[in-house]
Amino acid sequence: MSNEIAIPTTKIKYRNPIEHLAFWQVLGHPGEFPFPDGVRHALVIDCGDMEALSSKDDEFLTKIRRFVQDQDSHDVDLIRIRGTHPGDLPNESTWKALDGLRPRHLELLAGLDESADITPLDSLETPWPLESLCIVDVCQDLVTKHLWSVSRLTLYYMCRTSLILPEDYIIKGPSALLHFTCIGNDAYPMLTQWRNTDMSSIIDNLESLRLESSSGMDFGRYTYPEFVQFLHNCIALKSLDLVLSQSLTVSASLSEEPEQDEHYRNLDRYLIDLPKYLPPSLVQLKIRSIADSAQYIGVWLDCARNPDWLPRLQSVSLRYDLPVRDPDQGEKPPLSPSRSEGTELLEDFYQALALRNPSVERIISS
């Protein structure tokens, strides 16, 4: 699958002539993220390694303004802004130069400084009717009213990020967010953190959720109860895709503090019992974890045999082949299904679902 899509694309890069391309370069691996429908014209603003702009007459900004004023810019549906300077690009001058466009989709790629100021987006004279927002490599809080109005939010390799509405923003009605994807670094802890803020209701109407932390950054043990409770409360959720690299075997070993061991085991139980907390609204379910987690597949099997568990389920994938990264030895290869101690129980899980509802599809992943 190619990572290029045939869409007319204009590229404005610092200290380079304007380019008109026939293809759009998608983020991530080919097919990793859904691409918005109906995009007629895409615009790339590449700030390169420029210094922070201080002059409104800068040549780079002039190119952007001229493009915005041109009739050909009126069909721009998708904008990608890439900045690599510690000056929090795109800065306010860059946002103002883009004023006049009405894109439906925005991708913001931070640079080496991992910061970007998105707040000026709220002050444009021509409001952007954004439907989706994708932010990459930002490790700071995000403040914009658009967090409440977009239907799709994608965060890629963020870290310790809070979603914040402006202080003067008045919430009117429920959040429009339906599809949320968070991949890389501390995706699970970030989500749990938001549940304890004023933004907690931003994810109340989710229909699809995809989460994948980097190996070793899945959770803190104390967040297990909050995470499973969050899932249980997602009563509108139809599609769930989780990648879990967390190992629960550490707490099985005894220490000199038996009370603490017992406390840890009780916390681990929440994640082991994850299938019991899944909302009954789910239609599609995909779970991928490490081979060690297969020892707890009996919980999944018991749920599959329960006729009241996930009554609307139409497709499912349960895998225990995620590589484990060892800090001393690098990445260990995943256990093949034939070697996994949970292989037989995994087949029992699928068979139990098939007996209960023959129409449930088993998703075969490559």
| pTM for the whole structure | 0.88
Q: What is the pLDDT of residue 338?
A: 46
Residue 250 pLDDT grade (very low, low, confident, very high; cuts 50, 70, 90): very low
**pLDDT tens digits, 19-47:** 999 998 887 766 677 788 889 999 999 88
Percentage of the chain modeled with pLDDT above 70: 80
Q: Where are the domains of the chain?
A: 1-137, 139-366
**pLDDT tens digits, 215-238:** 655 666 557 888 888 899 899 999
C-alpha dist (Å) from residue 4 to 26, 29, 30, 38, 134: 6, 11, 8, 16, 18
Mean local confidence (pLDDT), 148-152:
95
**pLDDT tens digits, 43-85:** 999 887 655 555 545 788 899 999 999 866 679 999 999 875 5
350 sits in which H/E element: helix 343-356
> pLDDT higher for 4 or 209?
209
Q: What is the pLDDT of residue 251?
A: 46
Q: What is the pLDDT of residue 162?
A: 81
Q: What is the pLDDT of residue 333?
A: 54
Name residue 200's beta-bridge partners: none
Amino acid (one-letter) located at 99: D
- Is residue 171 classed as helix, strand or coil in its secondary structure? coil
Q: What is the pLDDT of residue 314?
A: 96
CA-based angle 196:33:218, to the nearest 5? Answer: 40
- Is residue 151 classed as helix, strand or coil in its secondary structure? coil
Six-digit token pair at 30?
């080919």
**pLDDT tens digits, 282-302:** 999 999 988 878 888 899 999
Mean local confidence (pLDDT), 112-135:
88
